[in-house]
Chain A
Amino acid sequence: MTESLFFVFAAMAIVSALMVILNRNPIYSAVSLVITLFSLAGIFLLLEAYFLAVVQIIIYAGAIMVLFLFVIMLLNPGKEAKFLSPTNPRILIITLLSIAFIGMIFTLVSGTANYIGEAASSTGDLGTTRNIGLTLFTKYLLPFEIASLLLLVSLVGAVLMTKRNLR
């Protein structure tokens, strides 16, 4: 049951990710990305990361993608004027490099379980909000606070950069 669900989500994610990079229209790309993110949320659920799955949908698929769509519509760039022609040597080079990357990673990753042991038995409450919250506010309190500072800085930065007249 879990395995078949994994394959469904994974296939959805891969296909929509390919749509993201192959679509000419940025709006379609953005919508495809939303689908990818939803599928990933599903995979998170399979991995008992309940809290993160929800956060994935709210923050990524919600907030961040809305920001993307907003900018796309604001700038209205239209379709990309000129896509790389399929005969362009760059495409060939990148494809070859990608295949090499995939091949090496697949080989290296196979048998990882042999090194780190079999999957630990599930307790069923690994990624619950309660557990995440407890860890975040005890062990990771300082990084958590610093992360809030990072967000504040980026907020200020974004406002500053989009201002029309800087003085």
Chain B
Amino acid sequence: MVNSTLILVWLIPLFPLIGFLLNGIFGKRLGDKAVGIIGSGAMLFSFVVSGYLLLNYLALNQVGAEFHSTLFSWISVADLQLSVSFQVDSLSLMMAVMVTGVAFLIHVYSIGYMHGDGGFARFFSYMNLFSFMMLVLVLSDNYILMFLGWEGVGLCSYLLIGFWYEDDKNASAGNKAFIVNRIGDFGFLLGALLLFVTFGSFQYSEIFSQLDRFSVGDGTITAITLLLFVGAMGKSAQLPLYVWLPDAMAGPTPVSALIHAATMVTAGVYMVARSSFLYVLAPTSMTVIAVVGVATALFAALIALTQNDIKKVLAYSTISQLGYMFLALGVGAFSAGMFHLLTHAFFKGLMFLAAGSVMHALANEQDMRFMGGLRKKIPKTFITFLIGALAISGIPGLSGFFSKDELLWQAYSSPAGGFWFWLVGAVTAGLTAFYIFRLIFLTFYGEARWKPETHAHESPNKMTLPLIILAFLSVVGGYIGVPALLGGDNRIHYYLEANLAKLPVDAAAHQSHSLEFILMGISVLIAIAAIYLAYVFYVKRRELPELAAAKFKRAYNLSFNKFYVDELYDYLFVKRLITISKWLWNKFDVRVLDGMANGAGKLITVTGWYVRTVQSGLVSGYALSLFIGSLLMIGYYFFR
């Protein structure tokens, strides 16, 4: 790629930054209309530029090519040479296009959704700042700049979860997200520092070029990869650090769609994929990732079965889908994980926005027990939501089918995969289809259970148009990755794989096409069966859910109370921390620290009390000391 084109990459994060500054500084004076235009316009420009770069990249037809563009030298200390520079390859371009595109749609949606909110300008400036940080994260060519973006998106997530900070609940949800993320970020930072100690650089290409001297299973690499994965666990809400994501739904719905479904939470997946060259050298870490991923997928899906809050269901669904992506990464199918990340961004972003549209229609009602029968009232929302639900369930022909199927096939057939991974994944797929259609049936079918005085109405075009576009993408988004089995050429893997590491392929373990076909059929059947089951439970025989809940009371309670994980953490960590903090406050802080501070103050006071008598205020006294001073100076020359 020629330099004049490559330099454009700096425009991608520049537009959101300008938008952030304009909206952040002048937002109140500009008026809501201008703020909305600036906010979404910035994303549109970014999207156009990143799309242009992607087309250029594809036109080059050099698979696996990567380009670097350096803006300036950032930190230069001894051996550490760090510059603010971006890496352009298929991975970062895919992420950039996805982030800017989805962000643009969600910004447009937000103009309608946040209409009339007092913090309109603040909202858009945070959203733009988030987009800027996310783009820095995905475009960076070294771990430290990535960490900057990583922390930046964490900050924006915190700000936006607590966006309606007047309500104490929202503010503490923001705190929870921030604090849980700190744990993960600490792991990331340790991993990055260990990388520097080992390789003497933070830059991806410099690190990866030195990997020849390490054998598979090397201890240092395993430690680094595990630490980095701790970071990914926090950001991408995996077991056991997932607890912040459901609470993060306290933020406005576009935030949930953009940050907590489509982009930020996938940063962990992106980071692991970016470090794939390290991970293939650490089979232990890969296994850990796969197990954590598949466990999270199942665990979150089980919780999602019984939740009544429409956004909570989607939140647990997000956690579950992220688990899927990690499963793919863990079995070495990095490109399959990235493909699922892309399609997930479309259909999950779509479903969050549609859920927001439902809430908009029902005066911010989030509880599905007070919904129902909305199919006719808000047809556009219903249709788009349905497309999203079909996509996530893996119905053939929609994007989710291609990515999920590819992923499950890899979980089974990859040298690092296995039957049990596939089985749990397939069961989870069934659960996913069930709970998502439970949501659909509870919300859109049956009798209307909302308050009669609520005037249910379709959202304005500003909100439905992004829904329609995302629904379209949820349908066609999968066709960039049609597997060879179905006559496709799997373009996305062709490009992504060239920039990612591959596990050494065991030729003997090559699986037959017929097996792939059978597994595909099974997972589709599971999904359809689950949808039918949901139909029976929530449309045909409405008494069944309660019967089932009564029959399996213990299991139902476990799921409904989210396996008591929050309570467990509260008991294990929060209570202990508070006890220790109280002790530190009463003993250490009051006695030692305050004593030191007060002692220093007292010392100064007493000294000053004595010294101030020198200031007699008499002019001749001052003149005399001046004279003595000059005498001393002359004396120095005299006696020297």
Interface flag for A166 (CB, 8 Å): no
Residues of chain A within 8 A (CB-CB) of B608 are: none
Which residue in B631, B637, B638 is a CB contact (below 8 Å) of A97?
A: B631
Nearest-Cβ distance from residue B638 to partner chain A, whole angstroms: 5
Indicate if the CB atoms of A101 and B631 lie closer than 8 Å: yes
Q: Min CB distance, A118 to chain B, in Å?
A: 23
Q: Do B634 and A97 have beta carbons less than 8 Å apart?
A: no
Interface assignment of A120: CB less than 8 Å from any CB of chain B = no
Contact between B634 and A108 (Cβ–Cβ < 8 Å)? Answer: yes
Interface assignment of B628: CB less than 8 Å from any CB of chain A: yes
**Residues in A41-64 with C-beta less than 8 Å from chain B:** none
Closest to B624 in A: A94
Chain B positions within 8 Å of A105 at CB level: 634
Contact bitstring B602-632, A, C-beta under 8 A = 1, else 0: 0000000000000000000000100110010
CB distance from B470 to the nearest CB of A (A): 70
A104 touches B638 (CB 8 A): yes
B635 within 8 A of A: yes
A107 within 8 A of B: yes
**Chain A residues whose C-beta falls within 8 Å of the C-beta of B624 in the assembled complex:** 94
B628 A97 Cβ-Cβ under 8 A: yes
A115 to chain B, nearest CB (A): 13
Q: Check if B627 sits within 8 Å of A104, measured CB to CB.
A: no
Across the two chains, which residue of chain A brings its CB closest to B635? A104
Q: How far is the CB of A108 from chain B (nearest CB, A)?
A: 6
Q: Is the CB of B634 within 8 A of A101?
A: yes
A100 closest partner in B (C-beta): B631
Q: How far is the CA of A101 from the CA of B631 in the complex (A)?
A: 6
Q: Give the chain B neighbours of A100 by CB distance below 8 A.
A: 631
CB-based contact B627/A97 at 8 Å = yes
Q: In residues 52-84 of chain B, which contact A (Cβ within 8 Å)?
A: none
Which chain A residues numbered 92 to 111 have a C-beta less than 8 Å away from chain B? 94, 97, 100-101, 104-105, 107-108
Q: Which residues of B sit under 8 angstroms from A101, Cβ to Cβ?
A: 627, 631, 634
Min CB–CB distance B501 → chain A (angstroms): 70
Closest to B634 in A: A104
**Contact partners of A104 in chain B: CB under 8 A:** 631, 634-635, 638
A94 nearest in chain B by CB position:
B624
Produce 1/0 per residue, B340-354, CB < 8 A to A.
000000000000000
C-alpha spacing A107/B639, complex, angstroms: 11
**CB-nearest residue of chain A relative to B631?**
A101
**Which residues from B are CB-within-8-Å of A108?**
634, 637-638
Q: How far is the CA of A100 from the CA of B638 in the complex (A)?
A: 11
Residues on A with beta carbons closer than 8 Å to the beta carbon of B634: 101, 104-105, 108
> What is the CA–CA distance of A105 and B638 in the complex, to the nearest angstrom?
8
| Chain A residue at smallest Cβ distance from B639 | A104
Query: In whole angstroms, what is the CA distance A104 to B630 when docked?
Result: 12
Nearest Cβ on chain A to B621's Cβ, whole angstroms: 10
**CB of B634, distance to nearest CB on chain A (Å):** 5
Closest to B630 in A: A101
Rounded to whole angstroms, the CA-CA distance of A97 and B627 in the bound complex is 9
For residue A114, give the distance in angstroms from its CB to the closest CB of chain B.
Answer: 16
Q: Tell me the nearest residue of chain B to A103, going by C-beta.
A: B638
Q: With the chains together, A101 CA to B482 CA distance in Å?
A: 100
Query: 0/1 per residue, A96-139, Cβ < 8 Å to B?
Result: 01001100110110000000000000000000000000000000
Asked if A107 contacts B631 (CB within 8 A), the reply is no
| Chain B min CB distance to A109 (Å) | 11
**A14-34 Cβ-contact flags toward B at 8 Å (1 or 0):** 000000000000000000000
Give B520 Cβ to nearest chain A Cβ, in Å.
89
B contact residues around A97 at 8 Å (CB) = 627-628, 631
* Bound complex: CA A129 to CA B538 (Å): 112
Contact A107 B628 (CB under 8 A): no
Q: State which residues 28-65 of B face A: CB under 8 Å.
A: none
Taking a contact as CB atoms under 8 Å apart, the answer to whether B627 and A107 are in contact is no
Per the bound structure, the CA–CA distance linking A42 and B271 in Å amounts to: 89
Minimum C-beta distance from A83 to chain B (A): 14
Considering only CB atoms, which chain B residue lies closest to A104 in the complex?
B638
In the complex, which residues 454-499 of chain B have their Cβ closer than 8 Å to any Cβ of chain A?
none
Q: Which A residue sits closest to B638, measured CB to CB? A: A104
Chain A contacts of B638 at CB under 8 A?
Answer: 104, 107-108
Shortest distance in angstroms between A56's beta carbon and chain B's nearest beta carbon?
25
CB closest residue in chain A, given B627: A97
B620: nearest chain-A partner, CB-CB: A90
A162 to B628 alpha-carbon distance, docked (Å): 34
- B561 nearest CB across to chain A (Å): 75
- Inter-chain CA distance A45–B103, complex, in Å, is 87
State in angstroms the CA–CA spacing of A105 and B627 once bound together: 14
How distant is B619 from chain A, measured CB to nearest CB, in Å? 14
Give the chain B neighbours of A94 by CB distance below 8 A.
624
Give the Cβ gap from A102 to chain B, nearest Cβ, in Å.
Answer: 11
Q: Closest Cβ of chain A: how far from B627's Cβ, in Å?
A: 7
Q: Which of A61-91 contact B (CB under 8 A)?
A: none
Neighbouring B residues of A107 by C-beta, 8 Å: 638
Q: Which residue, of B628, B637, B638, has the highest number of chain A Cβ atoms within 10 A?
A: B638
B637's nearest neighbour on chain A, judged by CB, is A108
Bound form: Cα–Cα A101–B632 in Å: 10
B409 to chain A, nearest CB (A): 84
Q: How far is the CA of A100 from the CA of B627 in the complex (A)?
A: 11
A94-B628 Cα distance, complex, nearest whole Å:
10
List the A side residues contacting B631 at CB < 8 Å.
97, 100-101, 104
* B270 → A minimal CB distance (Å): 63
- Expressed in whole angstroms, the Cα–Cα distance for A104 and B634 within the complex equals 7
A89 to B: closest C-beta gap in Å: 12
User: B residues bordering A, Cβ < 8 Å?
Assistant: 624, 627-628, 631, 634-635, 637-638
Which 10 residue pairs of A and B lie closest in terms of their CB atoms, listed nearest first?
A104-B638, A104-B634, A101-B631, A108-B638, A108-B637, A97-B631, A100-B631, A104-B635, A97-B627, A107-B638
A-B contact pairs, 17 of them (CB 8 A): A94-B624, A97-B627, A97-B628, A97-B631, A100-B631, A101-B627, A101-B631, A101-B634, A104-B631, A104-B634, A104-B635, A104-B638, A105-B634, A107-B638, A108-B634, A108-B637, A108-B638
Apart from A101-B631, A104-B635, A108-B634, 14 more pairs, CB < 8 Å = A94-B624, A97-B627, A97-B628, A97-B631, A100-B631, A101-B627, A101-B634, A104-B631, A104-B634, A104-B638, A105-B634, A107-B638, A108-B637, A108-B638
